[in-house]
Amino acid sequence: MDDIVMTPEMTPQGDSLPPIDIPVVSETDAAKAVEGLED
């Protein structure tokens, strides 16, 4: 899932949203979603 990892250059809101928080939140949500489906 390359969509999770986005560089500030690819993200128009890169200046407003910290690029670090984007992948972290996405991975966390994805993990919870997967765990929820499997559980």
Q: What is residue 34's predicted lDDT score, i.e. its pLDDT?
A: 78
CA dihedral of residues 29, 31, 34, 39 (deg, nearest 10): -110
Q: How much is the pTM?
A: 0.28
Mean pLDDT by 10 residues, the chain (39 residues): 58 57 66 76
Q: What is residue 29's predicted lDDT score, i.e. its pLDDT?
A: 80
Q: How many other C-beta atoms can be found within 10 angstroms of the C-beta atom of residue 13?
A: 9
Cβ–Cβ < 8 Å for 24, 13: no
Q: How far is 22 from 2, CA to CA, in rounded Å?
A: 13
